[in-house]
Amino acid sequence: MFKVLSKYSMGATAAIITSMGLIAGLTQSDAMRQTTIAGLLIIAIADNVADSLGIHIYKESEGAKNKEILSATFGNFFLRLVLVISFILIVIIFPSMQALIISSVWGLTLLILLSYSIAKAKKTTVSAEIIWHVVVAILVIIGSKLLGGLILGHI
């Protein structure tokens, strides 16, 4: 179980936190919906390809077998793609402020589940793993919201 978690946890975490940060930073008004969706699509493709290629190169440098390299590369890509699409759907379905709240709850729930799974697999303190990861995510959300407001002149 831990091997599966370690293979995909970096990509999942990046997709979740980046999506939440982008939504928080760009959902200042309903007029920004298209911009938010475009940004998430860019994350789903460009950032995802860059991250997956980074994993691919890292696995090659470790001397991993081709099957393991391809599994890590494509597994990361598809997991991140699905996660970002889930955030895109939230932005499409809900008005701006509701999308911010729902995407934050969704992302934090996913991080809590991932953190719980990692802590159980490592046999470490579950609450410490969850608190640390949630605090980082909340700081990203708050920082992105503040930065978006500052750039758009709302602060």
pLDDT, residue 27, reads 81
Tell me how far CA of residue 16 lies from CA of 31, 63, 103, 127, in angstroms.
Answer: 23, 29, 9, 20
Both tokens of 95, joined, read 């008005």
Q: Which of 26-30, 82-86, 143-147 has the lowest mean pLDDT?
A: 26-30
Domain count along the chain: 1
Tell me how far CA of residue 50 lies from CA of 21, 83, 128, in angstroms.
Answer: 18, 16, 31
pTM of the model: 0.88
Find the domain containing 27 and state its range: 2-151
For the stretch 8-59, pLDDT in tens is 677 889 999 999 999 998 886 655 788 899 999 999 999 999 999 998 999 8
Both tokens of 59, joined, read 């696995």
For the stretch 112-144, pLDDT in tens is 999 998 888 888 899 998 999 999 999 999 999
CA distance 137 to 104: 9
Burial of 103 (C-beta count, 10 Å sphere; 0-12/13-18/19+): buried
